[in-house]
Structure 1
Amino acid sequence: MNLTRRTILAALSATALLAPLVAAAQELPRNVRLVIGSNSTGGDTYQNAAIVADALAEKLGINIKVDAVGPTEAFKAVGRDSRGTTLMIHHDQSYLGYLYGVRGYEDIFASYKIGPTVSVNPGNAYLVPKDSPYKSMADILAAAEKGERVRVAIQPGGVSEIGFSAMKYAAHAAAPGSEANLVPVNTGSQSDKDQALFDNLADVINGSIQSNEQYTQLPADDQKAMRFVWITARPETLRKAPEAGMGAMTRDDMLKFASPETSVPLGEGKDFTFDKVFFFIYNKDMDPAIVAQIDEALAEVYADGKIEKRLTDAFFIPDFRPSDEARAHLQEKNDTYARIISEIGEPSN
């Protein structure tokens, strides 16, 4: 029995004990608004939220509408509603924004309730032009140590930046002071980061398998041709991806760019890894019975297996953890990344 199945069965057993409470106390209303921390209806946050919302709505016999309002408005909306009428789904940006001191972000562990995790996007990555002299992350860190200025395009303050912070951390550990040669090129969307590479304004960019794999198939003399140098996902996460991978990139191809084959040292014999996890966020005063109701319903949904196919087909890794387990997991990630950000001298609250 794998870990995911054990987690699901444990959640079902635990929530079964709470069934009388759920039946007697407050439950989710008939119509629920699910706000997401993204303004896009075509991105990975919306895709995840839509898949989960459909499955949860069907299981509970209610209506759930996904509303792409962006992080600031999403936090405001869920912060105003303790009845369960408004729920939120977002990813690690929710706590990374606070660690990086981004305006409008609060400590989610103090200001909100953490709900269950639902999936992982294993695609977070870093790329270089196909004709770049940097063939690997080892080359990039060695260049910084030799005094070369390496420009890295990121969207500051969250998921896009955390891998860059890890690069600086590894550079500093290998040769103190060399981290200053890793220079951020602060951009906006993925298309902005791509354009920085096309225009030779950056040597490395943060990207994703989903967005950038297409560019790796171009011939080397094409201005848009790219090459992966690092995929931040844990190898055990990538091994759950379809063997065929995405596009022309198989799962085995992906693993070559992930730890341990591609190493960005974190110290104590460990590599830095980062899984982009999607999870629910609730009003801090929401009735525990509703929390239990959602945990139980999702445990049954994931045990059924249909949602796993939908998520996997969209190149997401199913990752259900009930609320208590999810909070502990995310708090551990938060604490690790807080240490990295703090030790390289970047903003942290």
Structure 2
Amino acid sequence: MNFTRRTLLAAASATAFVSAPIAASADGLPRNVRMVIGSTSTGGDTYQNSAIVAEALSEHLGINIKVDAVGASEAFKALNRDSRGSTIMVFHDQSYLGNLYGREGYDDPFANYVVGPTVAINPGNAYLVPANSPYQSIDDILTAAEKGERVRVAIQPGGVSEIGFSALKNAAQVRAPGSEENIVAVNTGSQSDKNQAMWDDLADVINGSIQANEQFTQLEDDDAKGMRFVWITARDTTLAQAPEAGMGNTTRDDMLAYASPETSVTLDGSADFTFDKEFFFLFNPEMDPAIIDQIDSALTEIYAAGEIQERQKASFFIPNFLPSAEANAHLTQKRDTYADVIAAIAGN
């Protein structure tokens, strides 16, 4: 049975148990668990990744876990209402970036929830230019800003889409103070909106992803919808774990050419800025710590077995399991780095 069919069957089966009474398992987790996610899409990367993890946990623990795509605001509300362990959450860096950018509905997750284990990375966050753009590289873009050219960047403000834009402004400021004012945001919505901004000549650069935009990079240079990658924000050590074939006609080696250190967006004049979109658990702060320990232990065994990694890589996720304590320390350090970047360009 292929992954898609198996996941759909597992989700459908789990749905049948949603209204059943909550019964505690011998190990503490309820028999029926609702895994809320910070996305409303059942076709996006958050749902895909969560479905893989939910199915693996369900099979390993002998319980029923239903992935519920309710969106960030509703997911946090649901998590707040339930301290029994029958509701858990999976989201990604947006959970703290939304708070750093001051978006409504995003409390500090490190202060208001328990940050649990990481499970995977989507390495696809990227920036692209039109195929016929005069900018051949990120260095060209930063040099243009230094020369006084206005570079318009289409983003969805307030989170994962914006953090690379913030890093570009910060790099411009480090390289040539004042040039950051020439890196300007074109605030849009979904990926299709950002693409359209490029095609309508409203943006010189867009935030995109390998998964969503690779197809457009294969078009001819004179095609109005043609694009080129100029920057992939993931760490090179992350991309190096991707399948060698990459995605579409863009190989892993092609991708590495757009990532640090081959493509440099400086953080502070010495180190490069990088960003991995990481998925991790969030728990109600009053939930029994024994349940968190149970999830950590189960995931440790699942990742040791090795099957989940193959399923994640088949969907272009990079396995990245860290148990709760390590994950919390790692994500806190990551949050603090990005907070410094955002603060450095405040008011620009």
- TM-score, length of structure 1 as denominator length: 0.92
2:164 match: secondary structure: helix
1:270 match: secondary structure: coil
For 1:286, the equivalent position in structure 2 comes to 287
Q: Deviations over 1:60-114 (max 9, x none)?
A: 0000000000000000001111100000000000000000000111010000001
Deviation of the 1:235 alpha carbon: 0.3
* RMSD of aligned residue pairs (Cα, Å): 1.3
Are 2:196 and 1:195 aligned? Answer: yes
Unaligned runs of 5+ in 2: 1-23
Query: In 2, distance between residues paired with 1:200 and 1:220?
Result: 16
For 1:62, the equivalent position in structure 2 comes to 63
The letter for the 2-side match of 1:293 is Q
Q: Deviations over 1:279-330 (max 9, x none)?
A: 0000011101000000000110111111000000000000000000000000
Deviation of the 1:267 alpha carbon: 1.5
2:37 and 2:67 in contact (8 A); partners too: yes
For 2:9, the equivalent position in structure 1 comes to none
**Alpha-carbon spacing, 1:268–1:145, altered in 2? closer, same or farther (3 Å):** closer
Query: In 2, distance between residues paired with 1:145 and 1:80?
Result: 50
Structure-to-structure mapping, 1:1-349, within 5 angstroms: 27-345=28-346
Query: In 2, distance between residues paired with 1:63 and 1:226?
Result: 43
Give the aligned length: 325
2:171 match: secondary structure: helix
1:26 and 1:287 in contact (8 A); partners too: no
Deviation of the 1:25 alpha carbon: 8.4
Query: In 2, distance between residues paired with 1:190 and 1:56?
Result: 31
Deviation of the 1:265 alpha carbon: 0.5
1:100 and 1:346 in contact (8 A); partners too: no
Query: In 2, distance between residues paired with 1:213 and 1:24?
Result: 45
Query: In 1, distance between residues paired with 2:127 and 2:102?
Result: 23
Deviation of the 1:26 alpha carbon: 6.4
The letter for the 1-side match of 2:310 is K
1:153 and 1:202 in contact (8 A); partners too: yes
Query: In 2, distance between residues paired with 1:262 and 1:155?
Result: 23
The letter for the 2-side match of 1:258 is A
For 2:14, the equivalent position in structure 1 comes to none
Query: In 1, distance between residues paired with 2:97 and 2:253?
Result: 30
Query: In 2, distance between residues paired with 1:328 and 1:253?
Result: 32
2:174 and 2:269 in contact (8 A); partners too: no
Query: In 2, distance between residues paired with 1:151 and 1:182?
Result: 6
Unaligned runs of 5+ in 1: 1-22
2:212 match: secondary structure: helix
2:267 match: secondary structure: strand
Q: Deviations over 1:211-233 (max 9, x none)?
A: 00000000011111000000000
2:211 match: secondary structure: helix
Deviation of the 1:24 alpha carbon: 11
Query: In 2, distance between residues paired with 1:24 and 1:308?
Result: 27
1:259 and 1:273 in contact (8 A); partners too: yes
**Alpha-carbon spacing, 1:257–1:197, altered in 2? closer, same or farther (3 Å):** same
Greater RCO (Cα-Cα under 8 Å, separation 6 or more): 1
1:112 and 1:282 in contact (8 A); partners too: yes
2:235 and 2:260 in contact (8 A); partners too: yes
Deviation of the 1:268 alpha carbon: 4.9
Q: Which stretches of structure 1, 4 residues or longer, exceed 6 Å deviation after superposition?
A: 23-26
The letter for the 2-side match of 1:111 is N
- TM-score, length of structure 2 as denominator length: 0.92
